[in-house]
Amino acid sequence: MTDHMPPPSAPARPPGDPSASGAVNTAGGQPGAAKGQAAIPAPPKMVKVVVDGTEVEADSRDNLIEAARRIGVAIPYFCYHPRLSIAGQCRMCLVETSDAPGRLVPGCQVRVKEGLKITTNSPAVKDNQRGCMEFHLINHPVDCAICDQSGECKLQDYYMEYDHQPSRIRTYKLNKPKREIFGPLVVYDAERCIMCTRCVRFMDEVAKEPQLAVVQRGSHSLISTFPGQPLDSKYSGNTVDICPVGALLNRDFRFQSRVWFVNKSPTVCTGCANGCNVYAESRGEVIYRLLPRRNEEVNQVWMCDAGRLSYHASNERRLEWARIGRGDGAESVGPRLAIEKAVELLKPLQGQGGVGIYVSAQCTNEEAVAAFQLGAHLGAQRYSTGGVPPGDSDDFLIRADKNPNTNGLRLVAQAFGVKLEESVGRLKGLIAMRTDGLSANSLQGTELFIAVAQNESAVSALADVALPCQSVYEQEGTLVNWYGRLQRTWASVAAQRADAAAGWSWASRILGGLGGAGPGNAAEAFAALAQKSPHLQGLTFDALSEDGMVLEELLPRDWPARAPRPSPAAHSVRGPQTTPPGMKVGDEASGGSR
């Protein structure tokens, strides 16, 4: 812990600072901005403009779309994206300004200036919007019924709002490639594509791997990869998110669910230590996909492909029922009998030493708290930790540490005065809070093994008592990311899966059987931690906002070049902090990446 000194310029952020969920920063896509956050943004210069007769105070770097968004006036657009460069491809955002009376100017490209009058609802503007929609739909196939984008498609929304008239096309539509496999995660339907080039610009400017390009000309143009070079970037999934239509689709999610059947719920990705803010979309107990959730200081509006697929561990190979015994003698007995068995096995060892506590770095802080409390009650001899082995990393969002809570575990261990060993050692008994990082080899010689495990594995098969653990997406808790950001998770997947319970709950129930007392819910576990930890003094579970808070003491000295970092100054240059009236959830301003 001691090597984590706050950098001299590390900006402090008060807990509960509401300026966290931001709207868009126009500067995000401008040259220089995408390189990272090296430059501390200059204080914003505010200018007054008039949007449809209403005066708006806008940042001088705002374009007309962002200025209008500040008062909830929606200027429609396909190709503009707040974090990408301006293309001016789609022509949907044309509006009238006092600078060029009688002419239409693109709202994405034109910046505001003092006294500018913007008209977004004149007949000329409306006529252009209607005409644009008609042109965009000329070659669009009749695909809504079989298209994954249905229900979150900008073409559908804008057609109803700006066009709503029958087709006037009397010729055949152009046929184009219908299912081009771009890469491991992305498939492309050229007929649905409106050539906004968001995906091309994303790969150039954000992923920094120019793997997509526009080929052919005119109405025959389409997006393509280069010969022999598939779209295999680690960030390729984001092209699907920013595609405003159903042209780029996620192969993992394709044909799995209709988007209106899934519940969207905020949570944190558990794929690596970066802790990208995401939405988990689920129905029943099954997660269907993860989508990035806006947090400028963690993941902006992006996430990596590996993180996108990390939910599978929450759906598949789950340990469903509480079980006692190993091998052929194994028996699913339900939670009550399993706890009784665990207590019966642990009682003789209580206070005798010879018991080890293993806490995986996949645990939430609350699970770790309960595990340490159980260890203290048993008089545990050794505490150890581990987790998913390190993997690849880059200078943007992907961290080598593939565990979401390594930092949090250190924090909890420090609070409870526990020294965490790297190996479990040779002990008579072992209690594992999640089994990631354990191997059958490391358990040789262990006579009694009690495992709280999320997934079935060679290790969970060795447990004398195996207790099914809820995934992080299914329970409330907190995680601390690689740079010390304390973030909440919620029970995003509402349905209860079999016997599964949060890890703290299992530890607490065993504690109860042994005559101790553990936390009754996640908030209590967090309170027990906050009481002991100098970093969390006075914090309560419910006071944590959706985008978390920074524990300054944990901030690292070295930052990967492009990794988003806490910067309160960045907030002040953004637009309105809450979803403006009339904005739909999922729009850029409201926290999604779409």
Partner 1 sequence: MTEQVLDPHAHDPLSLDAELPSSLMTVNLGPSHPAMHGTVRLVVTLDGETIVEAIPEIGFLHRGFSKSSENSTWHQVLPYTDRLNYVSPILNTTGYIMGVEKLIGIKPTERAEYLRVLGGEISRICDHLTCVGAIGLELGAYTVFLYAIEARELLWDRIAELTGARVTVSWTRISGVATDMPPGWEQRLRDCLPRVLELTNEIDTLLTRNRIFVDRTRGIGVISGEEAIDWGFTGPCLRACGVNYDVRKAHPYSVYDRMDFEIPLGSRGDTYDRYVLRLEEIRQSHKIVQQCLAQMPPGPIIGDDWRYALPPKKDVFGSIEGVMAHFKLIMEGIQVPAGEVYVYTEGANGELGFHIVSNGKGKPYAIQVRAPGFPILSALARLIKGHAVADLIPIFDSINMIGGEVEQ
Q: Which stretch binds partner 1 (CB under 8 A): 157-165, 420-428, 506-514, 552-560?
A: 157-165
Residue 15 in contact with residue 536, Cβ under 8 Å?
no
Does residue 223 belong to the site contacting partner 1 (CB under 8 A)? no
Q: Which stretch binds partner 1 (CB under 8 A): 70-78, 134-142, 356-364, 415-423?
A: 134-142
Among 54, 98, 122, 167, binds partner 1 (CB under 8 A): 167
Does residue 329 belong to the site contacting partner 1 (CB under 8 A)? no
Q: For residue 54, which of 77, 72, 76 has the smallest C-alpha distance?
A: 72
Among 131, 151, 230, 353, binds partner 1 (CB under 8 A): 151
Does residue 537 belong to the site contacting partner 1 (CB under 8 A)? no
Residue 150 or 577: the one with the smaller Cβ distance to partner 1 is 150
DSSP string covering 62-118: -BHHHHHHTTTPPPP-SS--TTS-----S-TTEEEETTSTTS-EETTTPBP-TT-EE
Considering CB under 8 A, how many residues would be counted as binding partner 1? 21
Does residue 145 belong to the site contacting partner 1 (CB under 8 A)? yes
Does residue 521 belong to the site contacting partner 1 (CB under 8 A)? no
Does residue 260 belong to the site contacting partner 1 (CB under 8 A)? yes
CA-CA distance, 41 to 131, in Å (whole number)?
39
- Name every residue whose Cβ is closer than 8 Å to that of residue 141 and which is 6 or more positions away in sequence: 173, 191, 192
Q: Which stretch binds partner 1 (CB under 8 A): 37-45, 161-169, 295-303, 483-491?
A: 161-169
Residue with tokens 């997660």: 287
Residue with tokens 């969002």: 397
Residue 163 or 204: the one with the smaller Cβ distance to partner 1 is 163
Residue 329 in contact with residue 346, Cβ under 8 Å?
no
CA-CA distance, 549 to 554, in Å (whole number)?
12
Does residue 160 belong to the site contacting partner 1 (CB under 8 A)? yes
Q: Which stretch binds partner 1 (CB under 8 A): 14-22, 98-106, 144-152, 220-228?
A: 144-152
Residue 2 or 165: the one with the smaller Cβ distance to partner 1 is 165
Can you tell me whether residue 222 is helix, strand or coil?
A: strand
Does residue 279 belong to the site contacting partner 1 (CB under 8 A)? no
Residue with tokens 């952020």: 13
Does residue 172 belong to the site contacting partner 1 (CB under 8 A)? no
Q: Which stretch binds partner 1 (CB under 8 A): 45-53, 159-167, 234-242, 440-448?
A: 159-167
Rounded to 5°, the CA angle 150-153-156 comes to 90
Residue 84 or 194: the one with the smaller Cβ distance to partner 1 is 194
Among 50, 71, 124, 137, binds partner 1 (CB under 8 A): 137
Among 142, 217, 537, 581, binds partner 1 (CB under 8 A): 142
User: What type of residue is 575?
Assistant: G
For the chain, the C-alpha Rg in angstroms (whole number) is 27
162: which DSSP letter?
A: I
Residue 151 or 230: the one with the smaller Cβ distance to partner 1 is 151
CA-CA distance, 108 to 93, in Å (whole number)?
7
594: which DSSP letter?
A: -
Among 71, 144, 514, 583, binds partner 1 (CB under 8 A): 144
Among 30, 117, 131, 143, binds partner 1 (CB under 8 A): 143
Among 77, 78, 80, 159, binds partner 1 (CB under 8 A): 159
Residue 246 in contact with residue 231, Cβ under 8 Å?
no
Q: Which stretch binds partner 1 (CB under 8 A): 151-159, 236-244, 278-286, 317-325?
A: 151-159
415: which DSSP letter?
A: H
CA-CA distance, 511 to 523, in Å (whole number)?
18
Residue with tokens 């979401």: 404
Q: Which residues bind partner 1 (CB under 8 A)?
A: 137, 140-145, 150-151, 155-157, 159-160, 163-167, 169, 260
